[in-house]
Structures are given as structure tokens and as C-alpha cells.
Amino acid sequence: AAAELAASQEASLYLVGGLVRDCLLDKTPKDADLVITANAIRFGQDLLQGTSYKTTLHHRFGNLSADINGFKLDITTARSEVYPAPGKLPEVGAGDIKADLFRRDFKINAMAISLSQQNSGCLVDPYDGLTDLKQGKLSVLHPKSFQDDPSRIWRALRYSERLGFDISAETLALLKRDMQLIPLIGADRLRYEIECVLEEAKPENIFLKAEETGVLRYSLPGVKADGWLVGKFAEARKIYGTCIPRVIYYCLLSARLNKLQAENLVTGLNPGKYITGCLGDYRYLAENLPELEKTGLRPSHLYKILVKCRKEARQSFYIASDNPLVRQNISLFEEELSNIKPHLKGADLIALGFTPGPAIQTILRELLFLKLDGQLTSRADEID
Ligand code: ATP
């Protein structure tokens, strides 16, 4: 139907990018990108007419995305791009498939499969991505590639790790030449790339590559990727499995930063309210380390320190800590103290004659602290 529709609009239609690469590598693709030499929004709307798939239109780049039962389909108009300055978004012009493939990040991502009726299934590979794919090599299409878009540097590290490909010597030299431009892409684009890294099976290996090349220094100043980080990321995955919340990784990345570096990490990535809150909680825990290292703390005291933090901050602090006493205190809170509640509720206190208002909360908190410290064991104790 897509090929017929494209023909009726006198346009050529192609599958491009990751899907072509993954199919040639016999891997399952994550999403599908189509390029059409016509208005993609009109084509996409005609193609999906009568279906209930959710679509999103992006007018700036003239493309349409659809969610096909969890599989993402992107339809874009074939275009050429000119970058006005390093790190800036490109100016977009009309282009054929060859120009469209030339704007892509790596040769292995710059191949297309025609879906047009006259040459359906033919590979379009003007930049010889197939040779790179066969040799397990990653290379850019032209020497200005990383200057045009420094976010491609992180993409290079990510694909190299995911596919087990080597970055070609020329591309590696360009990457090192241009990595100082990474800050120009701004917080939102850098965060997007870092979060793509965090979605990979073993993000720590990508951070190691970033450390080794120097990319990490220009992206997340102060963050260290080494044996410690590798061990902690792996431990976190043992606890959470593959559904590990990315905030845990964020906290582990920030674990060895000083206050100023941690603040710069937040400014540099702008990770949203929840993650920023967790990173703040993590720092608060670090400041309370001398207390958390103690044994025999009064339970209500431990409770007061830990209850203020989001759970993920506590759990990351647990993982990051190499001190068994800290771990013991956090486990005590998670497994026991956080489940303890006074028998009496606000309504009981009102029934006992207390005036409704903030004082009720204060009394309930005091009851809780006494109960945590073992000074109240029954409802009758609490009423007394
Ligand atoms: P993944 O499996 O990670 O989704 P993908 O190749 O599908 O891999 P996307 O980020 O979905 O990656 O991008 C789709 C295609 O768009 C890429 O294959 C590449 O051709 C192109 N592309 C994406 N980002 C860039 C970029 N920053 N510069 C140039 N081309 C890019």
C-alpha cells in the first residue's frame, strides 16, 4: 500500500538508517525510518488514514511519527542539510535520497532500501556503508561531520559499543580533534545522548570509551569512568534488572563529584525536576555520611535523616557505599523503620478530643518517633 501510494504521488520511497543497518546485521531493529521524495506529512497521513495509530507531526523538519503498537515509525521528506555553525541545528533544503543519506552520522547508517515499485528491495549505498558493516567499522561520511553536530561523538561511542565495531582511525582522529565542541550542543541535546547511552545494555562500557578518548571530560566534567563505576553499574543492574531507572545511573555518575561539580552536572544536563531532586537528595546523604556511618543510632534519628530523601537516592547511596555500616543503616530503614506506623490515626486523636489542625501531624510524628525507639508498643501506650 505504501509503495502504491508513493507511486500515486510520483515519489520514491525508502527505508533508511538503523533498520537497514540492523536487517543487514541480522539484528532486530528498534524502530523504522522511511524517507519519501514528497511531502512526508501528507504521505504519512494518507498512509495511516483510517487507522487508530497515534501520530505526531513535526513541522520544522516536515516529518511524521507514528506509534504502531509500540513500534515507532518515522516518515521524513528527503532533505539536504547545511550547518550554519558547530552545534547549531541545520538549515534544511530539498534533496534527493543521495543528499538525504549524506546528512547522516555514519556510513553504516547512510544506506537505504528502496520500497518503490520499480526497484523494490534494492540497496541504495552511495557511501559504501556495506563495506564498513562487513569490516565491523564505524566511520563518518566527511571530515566536518563532528563539527556540524558534535552529538555524533556520543553516537559513535554508543554504536561502537553496541555493535562491537571499531571506530576507524580517521574517524577517531576527527572525534578527538572535535570533542572540545561538545559543550556547544547545549544541555538538552547532550542529555538526550547521555540518556540514549543509559538505555544501552552496559552503559559503563560506553563511559569507559568516553574516558579513554577524553570525551567524558568535555561532556560531564569531573565524572570518572573506571573500575569503580563499572562495578557499581553492574551491581545496580543486579538489583533492578533491565528495568533499572535511569536516575540510579545518574546518582552513581554524580557519586564522586564535589558540590560544585554536582551542581555543574545538573546545569550541564538539565535532567528534569525528579532527577534533579534525587541528585540533591544524594548530596544531602553524602553530607550526612558521618552520621550514617555510625552503629547503634537511635532508630528515630536514622529515620529522620533518611525519610527526607527519595527512595532512588537512598538506594543509589546504598549501592555507591563501600561501608557495610552505611548499607546496614539504609537496609534497616528500607526493610523495617519505613514500615512502622503509629496505631493511632488523625481521626482517633480528634475523637480523643484534640482540635483538628497542624498539631495533629506533630503529635502523630512524635508518636511515630517514640514507637520507632521502642518506647510505645501498644495502642494503649499511645493513648496514654
Ligand atoms: P537506534 O537503534 O539507536 O534507534 P537508529 O540508527 O535507528 O539506531 P536513530 O537515533 O533512531 O538511530 O536515528 C535514525 C537515523 O537518523 C540514524 O540511523 C541516522 O541515519 C540518522 N541520525 C540520527 N541522529 C543523527 C545525527 N545526530 N546526525 C546525523 N544523522 C543522524
Three-state helix/strand/coil letters over 175-196: HHHHHHHHHHHHHHHHHHHHHH
More confident residue, 380 or 366: 366
Residue 74 Cβ inside 6 Å of ligand 1? The answer reads: no
User: Which of 105, 138, 151 to mutate for ligand 1's pocket (most ligand atoms within 8 Å of CB)?
Assistant: 105
Q: How many C-beta atoms surround the C-beta of residue 31 within 10 A?
A: 15
Residue 68 φ then ψ, to 5°: -100, 90
Q: Looking at the predicted structure, is the pLDDT value of residue 182 above 70?
A: yes
pLDDT recorded at residue 12: 94
Q: What is the DSSP letter of 339?
A: G
Rounded Cα distance, 30 and 71, in Å: 7
Cβ distance 213 to 157 under 8 Å? yes
Vertex 167 angle, CA 196 and 149, to 5°: 55
Q: Cα(18) to centroid of ligand 1, in Å?
A: 6
Nearest to 33 by CA among 82, 68, 69, 9: 68
Report the C-alpha gap between 343 and 368 in whole angstroms: 9
Rounded distance, CA 155 to CA 170, Å? Answer: 16
Q: How is residue 30 written as a grid cell?
A: 528498534
Which amino acid residue places its CA nearest to atom 27 of ligand 1?
Answer: 152
Q: 3-class SS at 14?
A: strand
Give pLDDT, residue 21: 97
- Spatial separation of the C-alpha atoms in residues 303 and 324, rounded to whole Å: 18
Q: What's the burial of 220, exposed, middle or buried (CB within 10 Å: 0-12/13-18/19+)? A: buried
Q: What is the mean pLDDT of residues 66-94?
A: 90
Dihedral (C-alpha) 40, 43, 48, 54: value to the nearest 10 degrees?
20
Pocket of ligand 1 contains residue 17 by CB under 6 Å: yes
Q: What is the pLDDT of residue 242?
A: 83
- The three grid cell numbers given for residue 76, joined into one nine-digit string: 521524513
84: Cα within 13 Å, side-chain hemisphere: 6
Distance CA 38, CA 86 (A): 29
Confidence of residue 60 (pLDDT cuts 50, 70, 90): confident
Instruction: Indicate the pLDDT class of residue 371, thresholds 50, 70 and 90.
Output: confident
Nearest CA to ligand 1 atom 7: 18
pLDDT of residue 167: 98
Sign, CA dihedral 342-347-352-353, equals: positive
Tens digit of pLDDT for each residue in 106-115?
999 999 999 9
Q: Indicate the range of 152-156, 181-185, 334-338, 359-363 predicted with least confidence.
A: 359-363
Q: What are phi and psi of 239, to 5 degrees?
A: -75, -45
* Residue recorded with cell 563501600: 322
In this prediction, residues 12-23 reach a mean pLDDT of 95
Residues whose CB falls within 8 Å of the CB of residue 84, separated by 6 or more in sequence, listed in order: 90, 91
pLDDT score recorded for residue 192: 98
Overall average pLDDT of the 209-227 stretch: 97
> Mean of the pLDDT values across residues 205-229?
98
Instruction: Read off the C-alpha cell for 138.
Output: 564505524
Quote the ipTM score: 0.97
**368: which 3 cell numbers?**
511515630
Give the range among 98-112, 244-258, 370-384 with minimum mean pLDDT: 370-384
Residue 93 has what pLDDT?
85
pLDDT digits (tens, 9 = 90+) for 330-360: 999 999 999 988 877 878 878 877 778 888 8
On the question of pLDDT at 6 being above 70, the answer is yes
178 close to ligand 1 (CB < 6 Angstrom): no
pLDDT on residue 366: 87
Ligand 1 near 30 CB (within 6 A): yes
Cα(259) to centroid(ligand 1), Å:
35
Phi and psi at 37, nearest 5°, equal -90, 55
- Ligand 1 centroid–CA 176 distance in Å is 21
Residue owning grid cell 525519610: 307
Extended strands (E) in the chain? 13-16, 31-36, 54-58, 63-68, 71-77, 79-82, 91-94, 112-114, 123-124, 137-138, 166-167
Q: Is residue 105 in contact with ligand 1, taking CB distance under 6 Å?
A: yes
pLDDT at 1: 81
Give the residue-averaged pLDDT of 312-340. Answer: 95
Measured from the CA of 159, which atom of ligand 1 is nearest? 3
Bigger pLDDT: 118 or 287? 287
**CA 247 to the chain's CA centroid:** 9
pLDDT at 204: 98
Closest Cα to residue 321, out of 256, 259, 277, 237?
256
Question: Residue 245 — very low, low, confident or very high, per pLDDT cuts 50/70/90?
Answer: very high
Question: How high is the pLDDT of residue 352?
Answer: 79
Residue 382 pLDDT greater than 70, yes or no: no
Q: Cα(109) to centroid of ligand 1, in Å?
A: 7
Calculate mean pLDDT across residues 66-75.
93
Task: Answer yes or no: is the C-beta of 104 below 6 A from any ligand 1 atom.
Answer: yes
Pocket test for ligand 1, best of 34, 63, 109, 174 (most atoms within 8 A of CB): 109
Instruction: Give the pLDDT band (50/70/90) at residue 89.
Output: confident
- For residue 59, the model assigns a pLDDT of 84
